[in-house]
Chains A and B, each alone.
Chain A
Amino acid sequence: MPLLNEEIRQEVSRFLEDLPGPVRLVMFTQEFECEYCAETRQLVEEIADLSPRITAEIYDFQADRAKAEELGVDKIPAIAVIGAQDYGVRFYGIPSGYEFSSLLHTTRSVAAGKPDLSDATLKVLGGLTKPVHIQVFVTPTCPYCPQAVVLAHQMAIASPMVRADMVEAMEFPHLAYKYQVMGVPRTVINETVHIEGAAPESMVVAKLQEALKNN
């Protein structure tokens, strides 16, 4: 039973036409698959079927420990979206609902290797000297969330100092609790700075600079 129906498969095919470069969807599951692990694996396989430039790679979180550590994957289900290089783009939890859009949008940007950000933002990101970790907490039913996720991922593509995760709050309740997530999207930068809601690009940049000052 496919996850994507015929209608959405056609939309996805059209969306992924002329992908500007190859993309690897590197997915981590385990032998006794976690909640949504099986579905996430199936999802990346179905997406890979829809574009000749996308390959799905499935790893076992336990057995392929070294690979997980290499990519900094610390929980499952996980997808690393990797293009010409690993930009640090990750999805933790299944990208279903509105987050399916985030996955496809980010996949296109990774394929191009070019972020869609303003010159002012690129200048700030180009000057980063310290690592930045952005975690965006979401639920699949949140229409505002993809904006925050895609923006974080664009920043990861723009700078080798930035890595950015989508974290599906319902699948990682301990993290939702740790970061006091009671509403989404909630963006956490370097553990210290929080943003509630889908903020404009310039505000996220300002918060990122604030986070670096705190460190």
Chain B
Amino acid sequence: MLDFKLTTPQREVRPSDEETYDLIILGGGPAGLTAAIYAGRARIHTLLLVGPLPGGQPANTDVVENFPGFPEGIEGPELAQRFVAQAERFGVQIVHDSVTGVDFSVRPFIVRTDSATYRAHTVIVAMGAVPRRLGVPGEDRFFGRGVSTCATCDGFFYRDKRVVVVGGGDSAIIEGLYLTRFAREVILVHRRDQLRATQIYQERAFANPKMRFVWDSVVEEILGEKTVTGVRVRNLKTGESSVIEADGVFIYIGMEPQTQIFAGQLELNERGYIVTDRYQRTSVPGVFAAGDIQDPRYRQLVVAAGTGAIAAMEVERFLEMYPQNHQ
């Protein structure tokens, strides 16, 4: 069945690097787009830098079943597309560009991309999190060539093949189940003896005849000469090593925030997440953060959207209360 997605902005915007924006939002996932919807409706002069994945993590998710208002569930990409369309409707300038550096020590703040430098009185940082890597031999060499973190992108290449999925949370199970549409067998390697995933996903995984489980085990190496031929795993209880033959490896061991460019400028916690208070304020007045980049605990779509709304409403207050910042 064919479908057609229009995720690109309706109008390409040539943002001006001459003018100073009231607000620049970094990141076009649920948090950033919700912030954009609120900012647009508040008529705040806003620029949104979408980043590498328009719509954010939902764009990379098969089906979303826990976002209120969609009793049948909704395809992640469809939901992502709706977020983008809604933000556009309220007049926010959207640019498909990624931030490469910031300077929060000057006013107005400076935001740099590959091709331009922008200035803004306030910033909402909502760049989310990226899939964590295993950090084992073979992983970098085969990334994009047998090692993947995107089942919807790459599942097709594993038709009738054997794949290993690493992880035991919701993503590992959801994407593992998705891969059973293509693969002959999906072997899930998990470090514990039970899954962490939501019960309803566990039930589906155990009921699927193509899914097999290797418990108490970690992947220590991705094997292969020219292509992936398998993984070497170690059982944490027995200490024994063994090899699982496979043509591909999908890694779903959680996410981590990409906050390197904020180091030394915003307070980060020991795991690299941006520290925020209940008003989504960061350690720099005028800089707010929302979504997974500041949330190591819940990492839910609906929570990300909620914190995006809070951040935008706080931006509005900030701009009102600091008229000298708002020229």
Chain A interface (Cβ < 8 Å from any Cβ of B): 3-4, 8, 11-12, 14-15, 39, 43, 94, 96-98, 100-102, 104-105, 108, 116-121, 139, 141-147, 150, 169-170, 176, 180-184, 186, 196-198, 200-202
Q: A116-B12, A141-B152, A144-B153 are in contact. Are A182 and B146 (CB under 8 A)?
A: yes
A181: B residues at CB distance < 8 A: 157
Q: Least Cβ distance of A126 to chain B in Å?
A: 16
Cα A116 to Cα B54 in complex, Å, equals: 18
Cα A96 to Cα B150 in complex, Å, equals: 18
Nearest-CB residue, chain A, relative to B145: A182
Partner of B80, one of A11, A139, A143: A143
Partner of B8, one of A39, A43, A96, A101: A101
Q: Least Cβ distance of A149 to chain B in Å?
A: 11
Partner of B156, one of A116, A139, A143: A139
A183: B residues at CB distance < 8 A: 143-148, 150, 153-154, 157
Chain B interface (Cβ < 8 Å from any Cβ of A): 2-8, 10-12, 52-55, 59-60, 77, 80, 85, 96, 98, 100, 114-116, 143-148, 150, 152-157, 226-228, 248
Cα A95 to Cα B7 in complex, Å, equals: 13
11 further A-B contacts with Cβ under 8 Å, apart from A143-B77, A169-B157, are A39-B2, A96-B3, A98-B7, A100-B5, A143-B80, A143-B153, A147-B96, A183-B148, A183-B154, A201-B114, A202-B114
A102: B residues at CB distance < 8 A: 8
Q: Least Cβ distance of B112 to chain A in Å?
A: 12
B52–A147 CB distance below 8 A: yes
Cα A175 to Cα B10 in complex, Å, equals: 33
Nearest-CB residue, chain A, relative to B154: A183
Partner of A97, one of B4, B54, B85, B226: B4
Q: Can you report 22 residue pairs joining A to B where beta carbons are below 8 Å apart?
A: A8-B4, A8-B6, A11-B10, A98-B7, A100-B4, A101-B7, A102-B8, A104-B6, A116-B12, A120-B115, A139-B153, A141-B156, A142-B152, A143-B80, A144-B153, A182-B157, A182-B227, A183-B146, A183-B147, A197-B144, A201-B114, A202-B114
B145: A residues at CB distance < 8 A: 180, 182-183, 196
Cα A15 to Cα B147 in complex, Å, equals: 37
B7: A residues at CB distance < 8 A: 98, 101, 143, 146
A182–B8 CB distance below 8 A: no
Question: Which 4 residue pairs across A and B have the least CB separation, nearest first?
Answer: A196-B144, A118-B115, A142-B153, A143-B59
Partner of A170, one of B3, B6, B156, B227: B156
A3–B157 CB distance below 8 A: no
B153: A residues at CB distance < 8 A: 139, 141-145, 183-184
B53–A100 CB distance below 8 A: no
B152: A residues at CB distance < 8 A: 141-143
Q: Least Cβ distance of B189 to chain A in Å?
A: 19
Cα A53 to Cα B66 in complex, Å, equals: 43
Cα A182 to Cα B6 in complex, Å, equals: 26
B228: A residues at CB distance < 8 A: 182
Q: Least Cβ distance of B4 to chain A in Å?
A: 4
Q: Least Cβ distance of B13 to chain A in Å?
A: 10
Q: A4-B4, A116-B12 are in contact. Are A98 and B77 (CB under 8 A)?
A: yes
Cα A143 to Cα B61 in complex, Å, equals: 10
A4: B residues at CB distance < 8 A: 4
B60: A residues at CB distance < 8 A: 143
B157–A143 CB distance below 8 A: no
A8: B residues at CB distance < 8 A: 4, 6
Partner of B114, one of A105, A116, A118: A118
Cα A4 to Cα B5 in complex, Å, equals: 10
Nearest-CB residue, chain B, relative to A47: B4
A3–B2 CB distance below 8 A: yes
Q: Least Cβ distance of A33 to chain B in Å?
A: 15
Q: Least Cβ distance of A210 to chain B in Å?
A: 17
A14: B residues at CB distance < 8 A: 10
Q: Least Cβ distance of B3 to chain A in Å?
A: 6
Q: Least Cβ distance of A167 to chain B in Å?
A: 14
Nearest-CB residue, chain B, relative to A199: B52
